[in-house]
Amino acid sequence: MSIYALSDLHLYKSIQDKPMDIFGAEWDNHMEKLEEGCKILKDDDLLLVPGDISWAMYLADAYEDLKFINDLPGKKVISKGNHDYWWESHKKLKEYLDENNFDTISFLHNNFYEYGNIAICGNKGYFYNFNAFKENADASEKLMHDKLLYEREISRLELSLKMADESGIKRKLVQTHYPPSKSGLEPDEKVLELFEKYGVEICVYGHLHSAAQKKKFEGQFGNTYFHFVSCEYLNFTPKLIIE
C-alpha cells in the first residue's frame, strides 16, 4: 500500500480535438505514456491526481477520460484544477461514478479521503501573486478578485483539514492544484500556518508547465515536505510519495 502522485493529466479522449502535442514534443502520445508509466502501480496503491484531469466542458462529456483513469491500476483520489470545467458538486460527482461503475475513483471536494492511517485533504488552491499587482493602481479590482479567490480556497483547505482532524486521524497529506504560494519559490505563510496547525506531513501540487516550472519549489518547509508532480515534469510516471 503505497501512495503516488501525478497531476495535470490533461486527457482528451472525451473530446478528441485537444491533443497536447501542440505544447511541446514531450506531450506526443502522452496518454500512451501515462498508461505505460502507471504500470508501476499495484491494485492496493493510491494515486493522487491534483487537478487538470480532462479537457471536457461537461461531466457527461468526461466519460472516456474518467474511464481511462478508472481503468489504471490502483485507487485514485482526484481534486479539481483550473481547467476542469466539467466539475460538479460532490453529490453529482459521486452519483456519476456510481452510475458508470467507476469504482477506483474518489473525488476530493470539501471533504477528505481516508487511506489506512493517513487522511488525504486538499483543495484547488489559487496562485495569488500579490507582488504583480500591489504597485499598479489600475489592477486593484483584479487584486481584490484574486484575494477573494485565494481566501475562499484557504477556507476550503481548512475545512478539509478540520474534518480530517475531527475524525482522529493524525497523519495528513494535502493535494492541491495550484502551487501553495503567493509569488513562487516558497510556500505561502498562511498555508504553512494551516499545515503547522493541523500537522500536515506532505503536500503535492502541480499546475506549472514549460517555463513556469522555474517557480516550482520542493523539499522541506517547516514540518511539511512539498512535491511538485506535474506529469510531463515526471515523464508521465507517478512519483512515489509514501512507501
Q: Residue 185's pLDDT is what?
A: 73
Tell me 54's DSSP state: B
Query: Could you tell me which residue, 34 or 141, shows the higher pLDDT?
Result: 34
Q: How confident is the model at residue 239 (pLDDT cuts 50, 70, 90)?
A: very high
Mean pLDDT of 32-46: 96
| Pick from 151, 174, 150: nearest CA to 162 | 174
Q: Residue 184's pLDDT is what?
A: 67
pLDDT at 115 over 60: yes
Which value, in Å, is the radius of gyration of the alpha carbons in the chain?
Answer: 17
Per-domain residue ranges for the chain? 3-242
Mean pLDDT, the chain, whole residue set: 90
Superfamily covering domain 3-242: Metallo-dependent phosphatases (3.60.21.10)
Q: Which residues of 1-11 are buried (b: 16+ CB within 10 A; e: fewer)?
A: ebbbbbbbbbb
Query: Could you tell me which residue, 20 or 5, shows the higher pLDDT?
Result: 5
Q: Residue 1's pLDDT is what?
A: 86
| Pick from 207, 204, 224, 225: nearest CA to 215 | 207
| Pick from 210, 216, 114, 219: nearest CA to 171 | 114
Mean pLDDT of 189-206: 95
Q: How confident is the model at residue 165 (pLDDT cuts 50, 70, 90)?
A: very high
Query: Could you tell me which residue, 104 or 150, shows the higher pLDDT?
Result: 104
pTM of the model: 0.92
Q: Residue 194's pLDDT is what?
A: 95
Q: How confident is the model at residue 18 (pLDDT cuts 50, 70, 90)?
A: low
